A and B are shown apart, each in its own frame.
Chain A
Amino acid sequence: MSEREAMDFDVVIVGGGPAGLAAAIRLRQLAPEATVCLIEKGSEIGAHIVSGAVIEPRALDELLPDWRNQDSPIRTPVSEEEMYFLTETKGHRIPALDRVMPHLANHGNYVVSLGEVCRWLAAKAEDMGVEIYPGFAGAEVLIENNRVVGVATGDMGITREGEHGPNYAPGMELRGKYTLFAEGCRGSLTKRVMAHYDLRKGVDPQTYGLGVKEVWEIPPENHRPGLVVHSFGWPLDDRTYGGAWLYHFGENLVSYGFVTGLDYENTWLSPFDEMQRTKLHPVFRPHFEGGRRLIYGARALSEGGLQSIPRLTFPGGALIGDSAGFLNTPKIKGTHTAMKSGMLAAEAVVEALATSRVEPGSFTQRVRNSWLYEELKSARNVRPAFAKWGMKAGALYAGIDAMILRGRAPWTLHYRHTDNETLRPASLSEPISYPKPDGKVTFDRLSSVFLSNTNHEEDQPVHLHVENMPLWKTVNWDVFRSPESRYCPAGVYEVADEATDPRLVINAQNCVHCKTCDIKDPAQNIDWVTPEGGGGPNYPAGM
């Protein structure tokens, strides 16, 4: 331990997504003397960013009011919107979308590559004096006298067996008066902080979704910049929350993806294959004709909303963005809320710095007094309604909630289960037969992972810890028939010798860092920890 070098900062930020970058920029705006260090486990800023993404510019307007006059990558305004309820062969277009589903109305919003937006924000932050270090994963939370005093980056050059390899380089302690965790959904350090300070006490369990995304390049004659299409219904059954999106943006690019609620029950369900087969539906298929697939990726997102947000602060820091669960699920948007939470946390940290307070406690009050809280409050009953009553009745409730109650219902619906508790055993689940990939519109997992440019240094310990292998056999295999081999969108989990001696093979190198296994594993037996920094996907611009 003593060989680790240490460096002191006013604020350390873990994660270079919209929340972390907005916090960093806000900090330097309000306290130009404050030293701010931001680390990112991806090989560069944006390398691990997956999002639809239609973004609402509200938070950006507040953070960088002049952004429209700058050379930003936010260039495709939403121009047309379509929402479909799908049956197997037909798509029923929802009329008067702005009244029935006002949360989905996207007037004034933009279709972007969130990875590019983050790269742009990072350049701004660096110009303002933020020190940004991509390629370094936060591996350890430093807690002294019950106060978080920073994080340590992971050691590099540890061999598979856990020994120091020839290139061993110890991690570094990044010590901050305050530490902001902006790891996105299900952050591995956030998980430890939550446990240490019991931050989830008294709030609903978090519920999640898994977004699986592709970026296509399509013929210019078919491209309708700013077109936004959403669907729900087929191919998911009524008990499963989710749907597809398809956005036209940039230079002949299409962002297509599918979110599956991770409270799904059927163990045979494969979110990856739901995404693939939805492309074959007549509503979506024409968009892909003559096109080619460029990029693939996946990431879990927090869907719980207001009820599931934990206590936000603790001695020495705060949780921001989707690490805390600031995603507006009915809107399927988390960028503006993530940024706003980062900005509010920055304001609270600046106040705490000035007054030498241990905990940046005013963050919570600042959230309560902001539009962020109002927005999440009015959206709070939509997602649990789907969980409670299924897709169709949930949609009906959402319509009533929007049109009549206007989000001001005097009641709050709750989540009762964590996502790992909802699976039904294999014997009670109806098998799903997915079509074979055709190699033109639909593809298999491995050729998909190839397009995420994923790699991990080969000789390092497996970063997916299965705590108890015999438990895998008795629970995951005997009861659920290895759901991880289906929900993992990257083919990390495979079962070897199924017929004779089933055992779990972990291809950790394929991992795209979506965190689904950490969330959905029925026995909570899989712990996702950060691998050596720089590993994981390398999503290029466009993602």
Chain B
Amino acid sequence: MKILVPVKRVVDYNIKVRVRSDGTGVETAGLKMSMNPFDEIAVEEAVRLREKGAATEVIAISIGVQQAQDTLRTALAMGADRAILVLTDESPEPLTVAKILKVLVEREKPELVFLGKQAIDDDMNATGQMLAGLLGWPQGTFASKVEVADGRVDVAREIDGGTETVSLALPAIVTADLRLNEPRYASLPNIMKAKKKPMETLQAADLGVDTTRRLTTVSVSEPPTRKAGVTVSSVAELVEKLRNEARVI
């Protein structure tokens, strides 16, 4: 069984981004970029499935600019077997990503596509579900536990107030949530070895996918700062404010 793991290059989660003063977007130039943390979890789970013998090959895919190859190298260092880089000019939106992935799925014929549930830059939380829709495959989103057996994958999913388990016929899409696993480090020896693993580069334009954006960003602003609070003098006053002013109790 082949597993495809799409990974996205995003601003590192330790970095606080700032909105450009002209409101055209978020300043990302010169910031440290890393693999989207949810995608790391997806890579880890895929590699574990291969290590357990449930999968035979893990293929990492990234769609974006040339530097996304660094993200793929990380996936290779974590244990992916090979990588495919699909070059695009800018960061495409989930609909386009899903369409590109569909082409690659049809080419590679995996039985499982493992994605992070969302990217921490645009916070869309959509690509996995969309790819599932385009392929007509079942989806197990927000996975906190995954078991593959007998042509099916059982996925424990994080839902409001708890978890639920669904059983999906392969081929299927699974998206990883935070509690699924704790990804391993890309260790130095593995980073060195990853340099020798195969990486294929494709041009998005050659895949016959319409990449026209449907969403345009009109402006980007900072969230409103919290307004200054008040100091209350007694417990009674606090309770009164919480009841009648804030209406939270």
Q: Mark A residues whose CB is within 8 Å of B.
A: 5, 7, 43-44, 47, 116, 119, 131, 133, 136, 153, 156-157, 166-167, 169-172, 217, 292, 294, 450-451, 453-455, 538, 540-542
Contacts and interface: CB of A to CB of B under 8 A. Distances in A.
Given A453-B15, A453-B16, A540 B31 contact: yes
B18 A542 contact: no
A542 B30 contact: yes
Nearest to A134: B32
Given A540-B31, A541-B29, A156 B185 contact: yes
Contact of A172 (B29, B31, B189): B189
A157 B191 CA distance: 16
Interface string B134-146: 0000000000000
Contacts of B16: 450-451, 453
Contacts of A43: 12, 14, 32, 34
Interface residues of B, number: 20
A172 B12 contact: no
A35 to B, nearest CB: 12
A153 B188 contact: yes
B184 A116 contact: no
A7 to B, nearest CB: 7
A44 B31 CA distance: 10
B122 to A, nearest CB: 20
A133 B190 CA distance: 12
A234 to B, nearest CB: 32
A73 to B, nearest CB: 9
Contacts of B184: 167, 169
Nearest to A457: B185
Q: Is the interface of B mostly helix, strand, loop or mixed?
A: loop
B192 A7 contact: yes
Q: Ordered nearest first, which 6 A-B pairs have the shortest CB separation?
A: A541-B30, A169-B187, A5-B189, A172-B188, A455-B14, A156-B185
Contacts of A451: 16
7 contacts: A116-B30, A156-B185, A172-B189, A292-B21, A451-B16, A453-B15, A542-B30
Contact of A540 (B15, B34, B185, B191): B15
A43 B70 CA distance: 13
Of residues B184, B187, B191, which shows the largest number of chain A Cβ atoms within 10 Å of its Cβ?
B187
Contacts of A453: 14-16, 32
A43 B16 CA distance: 15
Contact of A47 (B21, B29, B32, B192): B32
A541 B32 CA distance: 9
Contact of B188 (A136, A454, A538): A136
A54 to B, nearest CB: 20
Contacts of A47: 32
B9 to A, nearest CB: 13
Given A43-B12, A451-B16, A538-B14, A157 B185 contact: yes
Contacts of B200: none
Interface in B1-51: 12, 14-16, 18, 21, 29-32, 34
Residue with the greatest number of chain A CB neighbours at <10 A, chosen from B15, B182, B188, B191: B188
B18 to A, nearest CB: 7
Given A116-B30, A170-B187, A538-B32, 15 more contacts: A7-B189, A43-B12, A43-B14, A47-B32, A131-B192, A136-B188, A166-B182, A167-B185, A172-B188, A217-B21, A453-B16, A540-B15, A540-B31, A540-B32, A541-B30
A529 B188 CA distance: 20
B15 A538 contact: yes
A155 to B, nearest CB: 10
Contacts of B185: 156-157, 167, 169
B47 to A, nearest CB: 13
Contact of A133 (B15, B32, B183, B188): B188
A542 B32 CA distance: 12
A313 to B, nearest CB: 27
Nearest to B187: A169
Contacts of B192: 7, 131
Given A43-B32, A47-B32, A538-B32, A294 B18 contact: yes
A524 B84 CA distance: 52
A282 B183 CA distance: 52
Given A136-B188, A156-B187, A169-B187, A538 B30 contact: no
Interface in B163-188: 182-185, 187-188
A43 B191 CA distance: 14
A62 B14 CA distance: 37
Chain A CB count within 10 A is highest, among B12, B14, B15, B16, for: B14
Nearest to B18: A294
Nearest to A454: B14
A176 B151 CA distance: 51
